[in-house]
Structure formats: C-alpha cells, structure tokens
Amino acid sequence: MAGKKSDAEVAAVLSKISKSHLECIICHERYSEPKILDCLHNFCERCLATYQKSTEDPSIIKCPVCRKTTTLDPGTDVVAGLKTNFHLVSMVEDFTLQEKLTQPKAKKVICELCTDQQEAKSRCMDCQFFICASCQAIHQRISGMAGHDIVALETLRSGAVGLRNKAQDEPPCEKHRGEKKRFYCLTCNQLICRDCTVVEHRDPAHNFTTVDEAAARAKENTRELIQKVEVNLKVFEEASAELTKINTDLQKAMVLAREEVTNKAAEERSKIVQREANISNDISKRQNIHTKLLSQAGIKIPSETKPEALTPVKNVNEQIYSKTIEEKLDNFDSSLNAFGNTVESLLKTHDTLEDLRSSLTSAAAQEIDADKSKVANSLENLLKSIELRKSKIEEVGKMTSDDVLHMRQTLETASDAVKSSSNVDFLNLHLVVDSHLRVLLAQSPRRLPVEYSKMVFQSSDDTALGELILGATWKFVWEIKTNTDCHEECYWNEYGGYESTGYERDTGANIISRAAASSNDEILVSSSYSVKVFLNTGGLQRYIDEHHGMDFVATLIDSGNASCTTVLVYDTYVVLYSNSNVTLQEHAVPASIVQDGSNIRLGQPVKVVHYRNQEIVISYSNWQGIVILDTSNGSMVRKIPVDIKPDFLACTSRGRILVASRKPARVECLEDNDARSLTIHPTVARSTTDGEKEASVICSGLCRDSRDIIYVAVSIEGAQEIHIHQYTSCGSFVGCLTSGNISQPVIDIGVTGNGTLVVAERNSQKLKLFKTLKEEVTVYLYHGV
C-alpha cells in the first residue's frame, strides 16, 4: 500500500498546478485581480492595462494568446470594465494557503495577529488569519468574534475542510450597509441584497430569485452548452485529422509532382541540347559535302584571296586555222568558260555556306536561349505554385489545430467553473462563459479552397512543361447499358426453383429505379423486371430476378455475414441474398410506428442502405424519419425522426447516417446518438445580368466512398446539367464534377471500392462511370457497352 505523501511532495505538486493554471501568461506570476476576456483567457488587471497601452484602439483588447478580440463601448476603461474572475481569485487564494500549510516544517506557519512570531495552530475562516493558541483564546473572548469558525491546521491539511472564505459566499452589498447579496436578479443578471429587491430591483419590472436557485439554473444551461460544444469539438477534431491527412496526401502528391516537373524540365533541356547538336551537325554535314565536291573538282579554296574569273588565253600573234579547227577551238573555249563559271559558282557557295553557318548558329543560339529561359520560368512557376499550396494547407491545418486547442481549453474552463466554483462566483462568471460557448457552437471548421484537395501534374509537349491540375478532377471513362440483352423469362415452380416459360424477354423496357455500388467493386441496378449485378468494368455478373418492379437494393459487404452480399426491399418485405442468388432470409419491414402516442402508417419504403454489421436503414414515403432494422432477425433497432424528407440515405464508416432531401436540396448528418452534427446546403452559382447568384437546385443522389468523402448529386431546375459535389466528412466542400456525358434525370449515384464514381440515368438505362485523373484506366468492352 502506498504511503501518504509528505507535505513537501504535496507542495511540489501544487507548484506545478500553479504554473499550469494559476499564472498569468504575461507576467508569469500568480494572478492578481484576474480579468477574463470574451475568449475565456485570463490575465492580471495590471498586465492587461500595460498591454492595452500598446494598442491603437483603446476599446478593443486583442487576446495575447488566441488573438481574438474583446470589445467594449468606446470611451470606457476597457480593463477595469472587464469581469473579474472571482473563481480564479478563490483558486489562487486556496493554492497559496495550501502551499503555506504544506511547506516544510522548518518553515512553520507564523501567527498573523501577534508580533511574537509564534507558530500558528489554527485559522479563523471568517477573518482569514492564521493564529497561534494564545491569539485564538483572545479571539474567542471578543464578543464580536466569538461566533467565528476556527479550524485547526491539521484539519485543514487533511482536506476535510475547505479553505474558502465564508464571506465570499455572501458578499456585502455596496449600496446597502450591512446587507449581504443573497439574491440574483434574472432581469439584470446581477447579485443583489434584500434591500435591492424592494428598491432598485422590485417586482414586477424585475424578476429575482435566490442565489442557489439562480446558480442551479445557470449551471444547467452551461452544462447543456458544454455538451453541444463537445459534439462540435468532435467535428473540429475530425476536420483537423482530415486536414492532416490531406496534408500528408498532398505532401506525397507534391513530391511526385515536383519530381515529374523536374524530370520534365530535364527532358526539355535535353531536347534543347540535342536540337542544338542537330543544327551543328546539319551545318557540318553540308560543309563536308561542299569540301568534298571542290576537292573532287581539283579546286583548292584560297585562304585569304579570291581567284580572278578565268578567261580564255589568246596569243599575241593570232594563228589562222582552217574553219574546222576554228570551230573545235571555239567549242573548247566555250567549255573552258562554262567550267570557269562553275568553279566561280562553287567558290561563291563557300562564302554563302560560311554566312549560312554563322546565321544559323546565331539564330539557333537565340532560340535555344529563349527555350531554356522558358523552361526555367515554367519550372520556377510550377514549383512556386506547389509551395504556395503546401504553405496554405499547413496554415489552415495550424489554424484548425489552434481552434481545437482553444475549444478544449474553453470546455475545460467552463466545466471547471460548473463543478468547482461557488454559486456566487459562477453567477459572476457564467454570462461570459455561456457567451463564448455559443460563439464556439456557431463556428464551423476552417475549409481549404476548393482546388487544394487534390493536385497532380499533367505534362505538355513543349517548353511550357505542363500544368498543375488542382481540385477534384474526374473524367468519363465508359458507360454500361443495362437494357440491351435478352434472357429467358422464368418463373418459380412448385419445387421452389426457376423454370423457363420458353419466351425471351427483352429487357429494353427496363427503367432504372435505384442503383448501389459496393466495396467489392460491384454495381447493383434495380429496374422494372429485375436486379442486375455488374462489375465496374462493365461485365454483367448475375441476375437477382424476383419479378418485382421498382425494388430498392443495397449491398451488405463487410456486414459480418460473409454469405450475404445483397439486400432487396420490395413492397413490405426485405430479402437477403447470397452472391449465388440464393435467398437466405426474408422479413417483413415495419409498417407503422408509435410517435408521440400516435400510431403512424409509414407507407412504402423509399430508400435502403447498409448501416453497420447486419443492420440497414430504411426511409419511407409517409414519415419524415428513418428506421434501423436488424436483418438477422427482422427486428426494429430504433426509429429516428429527422428534420427533412429522407429521399436519399447513406451511412459512413464511423456510424453516421446521412439523410438528403430532394427539394430543397439539403443533407443532414446524424451521430450515433441521433444528434445532428452537421448540415450541408448544396448550391450552384449561376451568372446573371445582376452578377453571380445561387440557382435553385434539386438533390438527385447521395453516397460516400471508402474515405467517407460525401457525394451529392444536384441538378438545376429548368436546366439539363448535373453537378456532383464532393464534401469531406465534416461537410467542407471539396470539388464538383460537371460532365456533358451525364443525361438527366439522374436517379442515383454510388462509389465502388476502387473509387469509381457511378451515375445512374433513369431514362437512358445507362450507368456512367468516372475515374479521377491520373489513374490508369483499362476499358473492357463487353456487349452493350
């Protein structure tokens, strides 16, 4: 059994606590007249007054810790007008006294009344003095002090009696001498005495009650706010974790993008160097040919002077020849002149080639320098863009972490005030506490700009290198036609099996009613005659044919039941199937519920999704709520009323239920305890003559992927375009897919396990599949694709 801690050990622990909670962050001393700001941070009055002198606006205090502002009316003494945290005052006093009581015995507690330096043996709880035995005897003989509460130091050290001054529980009234503040005016939110109730705060204009009753009400209100802020804190914590993950993913993408950009720059530089070498080679090649031709002609290029033009040689004394010889000589002279002209032309090409070489070399150098500069600039801009986004993500992540820390500290302060402050101290404090809790309750997690959630590098074939593709970038990859094949029409025979009617049914009349995507990359499509299961590559895997039109389908992958993969709700029944189409179980779905003492008929099922384990969530046509059903035995787990019409459902991996209404387009997220944690209002901006305005939109589908990214399909009323918005699990907008490949009306959307987005078109009987940019996509062509 552990021994009792010594006074010195207790004093050491108290000292640590004091440094953590009871010291002003400005002066690093224990609080003296602590003033509380709107953000619930505390500072000594004198420290705040000194700090305030350095600010430009005397009516505003910017918190030295969190930089949030506290504003009072202009012209007032801001610091003096702030609330004094009497609870903190009491804590400082208590800790100071505890330190005195637990100091080493060498430093005995001295009597605070006599001058003999006698060791104190007790404390007067009314006068707040440590007193020795002699002073205690005198103290108790004075008539005005005979009733004071005197407690032995050993009793105080044991913790059996608190150190709080009794006078603090009933502070004196400043207006009425001898009266104690035992009441609280609910109208004015201030402590009052008995005389105040019949003078300044009398009925009927003022409503007052006792301090204890008012404190009980106020503490209950604060507890409710604390619980709500704790729910909001979870959203902030998830947002912070989400930003951390985005930052991690972006760091990887940045490394890859940086590497690709650098490699692309190196590739372009290599091309430029090679082009420079090719130009030099082309010039040298022609020079070699030119030299070879002259050499073959026996012509030597003079190094400095150019030869004169060749002319026929004539004798001074001309010889007279016969006509035949004259003709031959004339022919030879013509040949010599032609040869001379040829040689002169070849000599000129040497000069031309030299000029050409110089010109080409100069032009190539300028072009190459320009290309090198363009590559360098492109590289710098791309890398700068990467770094800019990196710093922005880190900045938002840091601010969100700070928000989480501040929210935790606020909850700790508020909870401590509710649990340990006296009624009087709490009533002096609760307005500031509640006000800031409401501020935190109204806050939403910080959001990154839309384009920051994703980044890939797409290279080009020129010296511009390429561009950074930012945001949620999707591309259409293929489509699946769900109605182009015929199959034999069958019916259930008396032995419980399928039997052919001998007719082939053309499924071209099918109209898609619902679709669902599973984590094992299957796509389930419910239509007029059957449920088909496709692979996300387009292949038809199997039929689930029950001859029930307009069924509602869901996948039960990862439900804990390995044999069950599909659930089908039709009419008032839910049927579970294996992947070989064997019926495993069949249960009747709830047809009515009791709400507020009334029996409500639910109507027809509208949507069904897998919740967790073997549970599913069903929405109905006649009730604004959802039912959770256990498919293992058909029992209803619970019913949850919701604020919107539950036209679409989805469930996250964390046990949250997403409910979306068609019109107005709205998504609500229900926590495990059925509390609403966030609301999404999808909007689409449209350009008008009056500027950007929000268009009226209708929700056409809802789903989530393996990372709990939320997808909401919205269409603009009166327009054919469809927008598929992405949101984080905290409701932050990520990006938007708009594609001309999607035709209205869209009946459902889903995301398979490998991240393929599936959009089901109602009238065209097609599934449109989309992949994110940069993913390798192999298209398999099947019949009907």
Domain assignment present for residue 176? The answer is: no
Report which of residues 505 and 169 the model is more confident about: 169
Token pair belonging to 289: 């040919």
Helix (H) or strand (E) holding 641: strand 635-641
Confidence of residue 776 (pLDDT cuts 50, 70, 90): very low
Task: Report residue 359 as tokens.
Answer: 């010109």
Chain length of the chain: 785
Tell me: do 272 and 392 sit in the same domain: yes
Strand ranges of the sheet holding 676-680, from the earlier edge strand across to the other edge: 648-651, 657-661, 666-670, 676-680
CB 111 within 8 A of CB 130: yes
Same domain as 488, residue 436: no
User: What is residue 306's predicted lDDT score, i.e. its pLDDT?
Assistant: 46
**Is there a single domain that holds both residue 482 and residue 580?**
yes
Place of tokens 């709490």: 426
Residues 381 and 510 in one domain: no
pLDDT, one tens digit per residue, over 627-668 is 999 888 888 998 999 989 999 999 887 788 999 999 889 999
pLDDT band, residue 486 (cuts 50/70/90): very low
- Are 498 and 436 members of one domain? no
pLDDT of 301: 61
Picking from 400, 420, 442, the residue at the C-terminal end of a domain is 442
Same domain, 408 and 483: no
CA atoms lying within 13 Å on the CB side of residue 52: 25
Contacts of residue 610, Cβ cutoff 8 Å, sequence gap at least 6? 554, 555, 556, 557, 559, 567, 616, 617, 651
Would you state the pLDDT for residue 430? 86
| 589 and 695 in a common domain | yes
Q: 677 and 606, same structural domain?
A: yes
Top-confidence residue, 745 or 4: 745
Task: Verify that 586 and 705 share a domain, yes or no.
Answer: yes
Q: What token pair was written down for 503?
A: 């007719």
Task: Judge contact between 302 and 504, C-beta under 8 A.
Answer: no
For 193-251, the pLDDT digits (tens) are: 988 988 888 878 888 899 999 999 999 999 998 988 888 888 888 878 877 877 777 77
Give pLDDT tens digits for 370-404: 777 777 777 777 777 777 777 877 888 888 888 88
- pLDDT digit string (tens) for 233-247? 888 888 788 778 777
Q: Which two tokens stand for residue 132?
A: 């020795």
Q: Say whether pLDDT at 258 is over 50.
A: yes
Check residues 179 and 167 and name the one with the higher pLDDT: 179
Give me the phi and psi of 597, to 5 degrees please: 80, -5
562 and 645 fall within a common domain: yes
pLDDT greater than 60 at residue 777: no
Provide the domain count of the chain: 3
Same structural domain for residues 432 and 479?
A: no
Per the prediction, the chain carries an average pLDDT of 76
* H, E, C per residue of 592-625: EEEECCEEEECCCEEEEEECCCCEEEEEECCCCE
**Percentage, residues of the chain above pLDDT 70:** 75
- Per-residue pLDDT reduced to its tens digit, 674-713: 777 788 888 887 766 676 677 788 998 998 887 788 899 9
**Can you give the pTM of this predicted structure?**
0.57
More confident residue, 655 or 302: 655
Residue-wise pLDDT for 136-174, tens only, equals 888 888 877 878 888 888 888 776 666 655 556 678 888
Q: Is residue 145 situated within a structural domain?
A: no
Instruction: Identify the pLDDT of residue 373.
Output: 79
CA-to-CA distance for 621 and 552, rounded, in angstroms?
13
Q: Which residues contact 444 (CB under 8 A, 6 or more apart)?
A: 235, 731
Residue 175 forms part of a structural domain:
no
* Whether the Cβ atoms of residue 739 and residue 449 lie closer than 8 Å to each other: no
Q: How confident is the model at residue 2 (pLDDT cuts 50, 70, 90)?
A: very low
Average pLDDT over residues 338-354: 71
Spatial separation of the C-alpha atoms in residues 242 and 248, rounded to whole Å = 10
| Count of other CB atoms within 10 angstroms of residue 726 | 22
**Amino acid 70: pLDDT:** 85
**Both tokens assigned to 612:** 């967790």
Q: CB of 498 within 8 A of CB of 490?
A: yes
Whether 153 and 183 have beta carbons less than 8 Å apart is answered as no
Domain that residue 520 falls in? 474-772
What are the angstrom distances between the C-alpha of 580 and each of 221, 334, 544, 573? 57, 101, 9, 20
Is residue 534 very low, low, confident or very high in pLDDT (cuts 50, 70, 90)? confident
Tell me what pLDDT residue 500 has: 43
**Beta-carbon count within 10 A of 346 CB:** 15
Residue 641 inside a domain? The answer is yes
- Token duo for residue 614: 């073997």
Greater confidence (107 vs 413) lies with 413
CATH number for the domain spanning 93: value is 3.30.40.10
